[in-house]
Structure 1
Amino acid sequence: MPVTYWLEHAWLDPAVEPGVLLTADGGRITALRTGTPAPPPGAVALRGLTLPGLANAHSHAFHRALRGTAQRGGGTFWTWRETMYATASLLTPDSYFDLARAVYAEMALAGITCVGEFHYLHHQPDGTPYADPNAMGRALIAAAAEAGIRITLLDTAYLRGGLTERGHLPLDGAQRRFGDGTADQWYDRWSLLADAEDAEDANGAGHARIGAALHSVRAFADSDGYTAFAERTRHVPVHIHLSEQPAENDACLAVHGRTPARLLADADFWGPNTTAVHATHLTGEDIALLGGARSAVCMCPTTERDLADGIGPAPALQRAGSPLALGSDSHAVVDLLEEARAMELNERLRTRTRGHWTAAELLRAATADGHASLGRPDAGRLAPGALADFTTIALDSVRTAGPPPRLGAETAVFAATAADVRHTVVAGRQIVADGRHLRVPDVAGALAAAIAAVRG
């Protein structure tokens, strides 16, 4: 049944337009008309600035349980990882559903309409498969449906315990539940997820897509078959953690004589369906390889700064041809507007110059380009035929009041936060209204309960 929304102001890339009338039917935008100064009878009024739904292109839902705990004291990425493994060892399909449902509801409150879930927590703690070998992945898909957002499940091959200058290590401890034994066994289990992908329906192209991922060159070896993996997954979105740490590069050079990006390029891995996550420590050749293949790059600035990883060469990657996406990764915060702002401000600190991207370009990374990296090229824009997924931020909060609405894109990126999101619509249906989640009434309570259950 058609529903009409009156948007007080809307970002119609690249400009903000006042008084936009949007009609959604079958989960898609069927009509869009500007120049409507007041809401007509029967229209749902969304006051503020409406943007396309935000795409969180890189998430580890269970990391949300680390917020606060992981920030205590110092350490490095490698010491943080041990805390993360301890949390990973405690989850079951039921407790993961509860946690992910709350995390995805938090995302909806932040204006996120689609999440790319980088999922490698597959089996029981000792590595034994559940009766349903995809029980954990299906729990995530169900959690996204309950929270009202779309999900691309990036089911991850994680076969090795690490890479040192002497070679790969076996899975150990909490890692045992990540592994499938061999690449063929991963593929067999992954293939069983085909029935979890929604066909296009009255809800607007379904809420679940199945993608694939390699955790990293640390967790997958050339003997596991990079080329075969690429051939098997060429038809779906594929993500990989790439060069997140200098130690990864050093070990790869010692063992393979090549950087991770070159090792993967030699296996014909890179292409328009692939996304490199982080890509923090790249050579000039690495940048050219990714850009030349039109592979996307997902930057996660709030996690990268939280873990002291470094600042990735995002401008150079984009100039080389790589579209940029954004993710909240470890969920130190869940705020895609902050991720967009941080990408620009990080570059200002590094270069001591301003204006590396316009506000419109940063919003594009958080919307259209992020959705494309998740296999959703029909989302991330306000236009007829696109998925009817959008979010509205307040222009009258203590953070956003003052600037004229025509500068709404700049206000959204450089002043607003997730706390300014007032409405979120997915497939034409309101999921968040006036700052309240309509399906998970007490998101904070749900988060607290789910995290307490995991921590015991």
Structure 2
Amino acid sequence: MSDGLWYADWAWLGSDEAPTGRVLIEVVDSRFSAITVGVATPPPDAIRLPGLTLPGLANAHSHAFHRALRGRTTDDRGSFWTWRDRMYALAGRLDPDDYLALARATYAEMALAGITTVGEFHYLHHDVDGEPYPDPNVMGAVLIEAAAQAGIRITLLDALYLTATVDGEPLEGVQRRFGDQDLDAYLARLDRLDAANSDNADSVRIGAALHSVRAVPAALLPEFAERTAGRPLHFHLSEQRAENEACVAAHGRTPTELLSDSGVLSARSTAVHATHLTDLDRTLLGDTGTGVCFCPTTERDLADGIGPARALADAGSPLSLGSDSQTVIDLFEEARALEADERLRTERRGHFTPAELIRAAAVAGHNALGWTDVGRIAAGERADLVTINLESPRTAGAPPVGAPLTASAADVTTVVVDGRVTVRDGHHVRIDVPAALEEAVHSLW
């Protein structure tokens, strides 16, 4: 438990459309107990938070091991598919010890960026030959341990991955690391993850994921949806046009239509990317309240395209944000890009307000990961705080309401998770993050 008083020069409270000044924040038992605005003089025992304080941010879609690819896929023009080949080469190198070191450093980098909860879309399950480890969840366990060491929460979105194509071709090569024998074996692993983390409810959730319509036979989708009920459910959707074309050829329906007919779409579900959608696809996602996680920095890095963010939000899909391939880890950049991409696509400005972007990065992301009491600075919520410097070269002169559109991860000075300080003065309190990343990445190459 953690108690204390914090005094924010400016804070973005609840669902407010703009920050509020001179805010006294009381924390009792790791939750906000009282929020008082307009306090001219803070109590002497209050910890001051100079700058703009936001609720904790949620990275709703992460592949931690991709961090080792940063800067290593730009030596030729390539394509999404050549990038994927290099990613597979990296996936073939990782063992549990390597993965712990890399994920720990990656999650610590996320903490520096103001991320207090990560949704790890996890499919690197087994040994290099595709055989389960003696503990079939050891790779998931090291991700959970890595998040604990980095001082952030995790929703482990354990992914079902059975086939290589929509046509059902078997997994080959490194893809065998991703695959379970069948749906029953996958669900047995989920049950073991639940049991192993039964005492970690304050910091760990176990969610479900289907990698994509390429990786799960259509006949299994209804049973998968039924037997994972009650968990957050995530899936890659229509990231590439080729995926859509293959699905229509095999099933006569788009991926979204196939998932809708199979009972996968719902308010507990989140589609990742959702870049290439038909009008019907958008309607199906919105009508079911299915969330959509955009990962703009990855989508532009891989030349995926620009998804219909505003149209999806208007249709009823809550929007969240993710760092995905870790091209950068900066949810301010992801949020800005959500607006900027809409401007490029439509040649108009003003699609999302700053408050909408903060909600996508904070409360909507947490909700998508199964954390319904995080993401707002309000009484009763978990005590997560992220303070950004308003006097950096990027933010100086900008009003507090505009700071999220000017700030970067480098402007984060303080991060508090459940009332405990994880980042102080821009440095992680436990981990030398640059050194940890350098060691973890270079040991793999």
TM-score by structure 2 length? Answer: 0.98
Residue pairs, 1:263-412, within 5 angstroms: 263-404=258-399, 408-412=400-404
CA distance in 2, matches of 1:208, 1:66: 26
Of residues 88, 91, 100, the one that matches 2:91 is 88
Counterpart of 2:202 in structure 1: which amino acid?
G
Structure 1 residue 15: deviation in Å?
Answer: 2.1
Correspondence for 1:454: 444
CA distance in 2, matches of 1:273, 1:114: 17
Correspondence for 1:125: 128
CA distance in 2, matches of 1:84, 1:283: 29
**Cα deviation 1:259-288 (Å, max 9, x = unaligned):** 001111111111000000000001000000
Correspondence for 2:251: 256
Q: Are the equivalent residues in 1 in contact too, given 2:6–2:47 (CA < 8 A)?
A: yes
Percent identical residues = 57
Counterpart of 2:363 in structure 1: which amino acid?
A
CA distance in 2, matches of 1:335, 1:198: 31
Structure 1 residue 175: deviation in Å?
Answer: 0.4
1:91 alignment partner, SS class: coil
CA distance in 2, matches of 1:212, 1:26: 30
Q: Are the equivalent residues in 1 in contact too, given 2:384–2:419 (CA < 8 A)?
A: yes
Counterpart of 2:173 in structure 1: which amino acid?
G
Segments ≥4 residues shifted beyond 6 Å: none
User: For the aligned residues, what is the CA RMSD?
Assistant: 1.1
Structure 1 residue 37: deviation in Å?
Answer: 2.3
1:162 alignment partner, SS class: coil
Structure 1 residue 197: deviation in Å?
Answer: 3.6
Tell me if 1:162 matches 2:158.
no
**Cα deviation 1:118-161 (Å, max 9, x = unaligned):** 00000001111111110000000000000000000000001111
Correspondence for 1:222: 218
Residue pairs, 1:412-423, within 5 angstroms: 412=404, 414-423=405-414
Structure 1 residue 218: deviation in Å?
Answer: 0.5
Correspondence for 2:6: 5
Structure 1 residue 38: deviation in Å?
Answer: 3.1
CA distance in 2, matches of 1:402, 1:352: 27
Correspondence for 1:210: 206
Structure 1 residue 72: deviation in Å?
Answer: 2.2
Q: Are the equivalent residues in 1 in contact too, given 2:267–2:291 (CA < 8 A)?
A: yes
CA distance in 2, matches of 1:142, 1:234: 26
Tell me if 1:175 matches 2:162.
no
CA distance in 1, matches of 2:267, 2:414: 32
Residue pairs, 1:420-431, within 5 angstroms: 420-431=411-422
Structure 1 residue 222: deviation in Å?
Answer: 1.3
1:15 alignment partner, SS class: coil
Correspondence for 2:62: 59
1:367 alignment partner, SS class: helix
Correspondence for 2:153: 150
Consecutive unaligned residues in structure 2, runs of 5 or more:
none
CA distance in 2, matches of 1:354, 1:197: 46
Q: Are the equivalent residues in 2 in contact too, given 1:96–1:139 (CA < 8 A)?
A: yes
Counterpart of 1:364 in structure 2: which amino acid?
R
Q: Are the equivalent residues in 2 in contact too, given 1:196–1:208 (CA < 8 A)?
A: no
**Cα deviation 1:303-332 (Å, max 9, x = unaligned):** 000000000011111111000000000010
Counterpart of 2:438 in structure 1: which amino acid?
A
Structure 1 residue 42: deviation in Å?
Answer: 1.2
Tell me if 1:40 matches 2:40.
no
1:98 alignment partner, SS class: helix
Structure 1 residue 199: deviation in Å?
Answer: 5.2
Of residues 89, 103, 107, the one that matches 1:100 is 103
Q: Are the equivalent residues in 1 in contact too, given 2:3–2:30 (CA < 8 A)?
A: no
Q: Are the equivalent residues in 2 in contact too, given 1:154–1:212 (CA < 8 A)?
A: yes
TM-score by structure 1 length? Answer: 0.95
Counterpart of 1:419 in structure 2: which amino acid?
A
Aligned residues: 442
2:206 alignment partner, SS class: strand
**Cα deviation 1:417-448 (Å, max 9, x = unaligned):** 000000000000000001010011x1000001
CA distance in 2, matches of 1:99, 1:62: 7
CA distance in 1, matches of 2:267, 2:197: 21
**Cα deviation 1:326-358 (Å, max 9, x = unaligned):** 000001000000000001001101111000010
Q: Are the equivalent residues in 1 in contact too, given 2:267–2:290 (CA < 8 A)?
A: yes
**Cα deviation 1:24-54 (Å, max 9, x = unaligned):** 1222111111111233111111111000011
CA distance in 1, matches of 2:75, 2:26: 48
CA distance in 1, matches of 2:74, 2:269: 31
Consecutive unaligned residues in structure 1, runs of 5 or more:
none
